[in-house]
Amino acid sequence: MTVTTDRFVIVGAGIAGVSAAGAARLAGFEGEIVLIGDEPELPYRRPPVSKEVVRGEKGADDIRIRKAEWYEQQRIDLRTDQAVASVSVEDHEVTLASGEVIGYGSLLLATGGSARTLDAVTTEAGAAGVRTLRSLADVDGIVSALGPGRPVVVVGAGLIGSEIAASARERGAEVTLLEAAASPLPHLLPPALGDFYAALHAEQGTHLHCGVEVISIDAGSGDAAGHTVVTAADGRAWSAPVVVVAVGMAPNSRLAVEAGIEVEGGAIVVDDHGRTNAPDVYAAGDVALLPSGVLGGMHRVEHWQGAQNHGAAVGKVVAGQDLAFDEVPWCWSDQYGHTLQVTGWPAAGHDVALRGSLEARDFTAFYLDGGVLRGAVALGRPADVRLARRWIAEGARPEPGLLVESDDLAEALTEVPA
């Protein structure tokens, strides 16, 4: 067997894969770059899908990562609508579903994730109205059911579920939003901020129900004929022509598992250079489990910014740079005209210092663990988020009182103990 050392093959044409391809070329990689995506679309940005695209403000061509000519200019062989069937780490080859075999010198698995389903919930085969939203291909099946006064049920009030609910409501739909936890955005917000978002949903006419344990999703009958019915453990039920299940994302790690590459908790394990335990094989983005120098241990980040920067870093490594990746995550969510920004690793058990006003919708919540800043959530305060992100990376110990009271937030930072 002859290994093709000058070909960089990237499986996954999302932001991590596109960023890796562009960064490798910019860093001086002169070999072939083959970028393989299983969607028929030219690569696009996913964050607008649940927001501007569902609201009808943007179409597919408005959210492209790069124009078609960019791939030609960068000498990137973009293969769309092509699935990869298998990876052979021994032979340094990937095999497409079409049967074509492509050798590689370096391989990046940037396969992202798929929408999770409610595995523990009984879903009747005839319940044709069940939808998920992960790709552009999913949009029409949801948007076609939206309109003034038309009902839609969204299961899951995390970031994506809340965004879908807000977008559907802005199109005039009658939205019911169901959440298993006691408040919306349960993985990001302490109860006070969760209550704030619950009030925001209510103000906009979205019917939010928390503490809902969904036990079945069935095809309706009788008065609910033509609808899909969601039933809770306490007997309550809601129906709509379309039910959108938004309960998180599962990493697409099948190729790695079948190739014998180390996977933990469904994610591909990498080091701080994006390398897996297989020679010349890397992983980046939503599918990767990577070390954090800030927190210690291994973490998986699902946010767009992280996937973009991680992919770019791995592309530079493939081009020969010795570049370790260690970044404090940052993301945002648009709901009802308000932009929520989150950085770091906020957790419900952390101490919270709240700066600003919930009532004025102008605040930053700082999350402290043993006095160390670990995360921040802000509405209307991007400068606070930028400072917090830097302090989290430094392991800063700001005085909580100063965080809340100081006019000059930078004065709240104290020296970090050695």
DSSP 371: T
Bridge partners for 109 per DSSP: 11, 283
Q: What angle do CA 16, 18, 23 make, to 5 degrees?
A: 90
Claim to verify: residue 174 and residue 104 sit in the same structural domain: no
DSSP state of 42: P
Domain closes at, from 222, 245, 268: 245
pLDDT of residue 222: 65
- The reply to whether 330 falls in a domain is no
Residue with tokens 């690569």: 43
Is the same domain home to 202 and 108? no
Written as one string, the DSSP assignment of 190-225 is -HHHHHHHHHHHHHTT-EEEES--EEEEEE--GGGT
Residue 70 structure tokens: 């960019």
In a domain, 39, yes or no: yes
Best CA proximity match to 366, nearest among 382, 385, 383: 385
Q: Determine the Cα–Cα distance for residues 20 and 25; give it in Å rounded to an integer.
A: 9
Q: Are residues 238 and 135 in the same domain?
A: yes
Q: What is the H or E stretch that residue 160 is in?
A: helix 159-170
Percent of the chain having pLDDT more than 70? 94
pTM given for the model? 0.92
- Judgement on whether residues 107 and 131 belong to the same structural domain of the protein: no
* Residue 380 Rama label (left phi>0; alpha psi -120 to 50; beta): left
Structure tokens belonging to residue 322:
């010795």
Backbone angles phi, psi at 223, to 5 degrees: -65, -20
Query: Do residues 235 and 126 both lie within one domain?
Result: yes
Residue of 293, 290, 297 lying closest to 311 (CA atoms): 290
Residue 358 φ then ψ, to 5°? -65, -40
Same domain, 129 and 232: yes
Domain assignment present for residue 264? The answer is yes
Helix runs in 337-399, H state only: 382-394
Do 139 and 202 sit in the same domain of this protein?
yes
Handedness of CA 269, 272, 278, 282 (dihedral sign): positive
> For residue 222, is it within any domain?
yes
Backbone angles phi and psi of 110, in degrees to 5: -120, 55
pLDDT in tens, 229-261: 999 999 999 999 999 999 999 999 999 999 999
Distances (CA, A) of 213 to 233, 236, 249: 6, 10, 19
Are residues 274 and 301 located together in one domain of the fold?
yes
Q: What Cα–Cα distance (Å) separates residue 127 from each residue in 145, 149, 157, 247, 382?
A: 15, 22, 21, 18, 43
CATH at residue 408: 3.30.390.30
Alpha carbon distance 24, 41 (integer Å): 23
**Pairwise CA distance, residues 241 & 127, whole Å:** 10
Low-confidence ranges of the chain (pLDDT < 70): 1-5, 119-127, 222-223, 412-418
- The one-letter code for the residue type at 392 is I
Last residue of a domain, one of 223, 245, 267: 245
Closest CA to 48 of 202, 124, 182, 160: 160
Give residue 195's pLDDT: 85
Q: CB neighbours of 319 closer than 8 A, spacing ≥ 6?
A: 23, 24, 25, 27, 28, 29
Angle at 336 between CA 334 and CA 337, to 5 degrees: 65
Which CATH number fits the domain that encloses residue 19? Answer: 3.50.50.60
Within-domain flag for 326: no
Same domain, 21 and 166: no
Residue 164 counted as domain residue: yes
Total domain count, the chain: 3
Question: For residues 143 and 239, what is the distance between their CA atoms, to the nearest angstrom?
Answer: 17
Q: Are residues 209 and 106 located together in one domain of the fold?
A: no
- Whether 327 is covered by a domain: the verdict is no
Domain around 215: 122-245
Per-residue pLDDT tens over the stretch 352-382: 899 998 888 899 999 999 999 999 999 989 9
pLDDT for res 200: 92
Q: What is the pLDDT of residues 15-64, one digit of tens each?
A: 999 999 999 999 999 999 999 999 999 999 999 999 999 999 999 999 99
- Do 292 and 394 share a domain, yes or no? no
Spatial CA neighbour of 26 closest among 259, 320, 295, 253: 320
Are β-strands 372-379 and 362-369 bridged in parallel, bridged antiparallel, or unpaired?
antiparallel
Identify the domain boundary among 214, 245, 276: 245
The DSSP element (H or E) to which 351 belongs, if any, is strand 351-357
Inside any domain, residue 2: no
Which pair of tokens denotes residue 363? 């605040």
Please give the distance of CA 296 from its chain centroid, rounded to a whole number.
22
pLDDT at position 388: 94
Same domain, 201 and 234: yes
Rounded distance between C-alpha atoms, residue 397 and residue 224, angstroms: 56
Dihedral sign (CA 129, 134, 139, 143): positive
According to the model, what pLDDT value does residue 1 have? 35
Tokens 């103990």: give the residue: 417
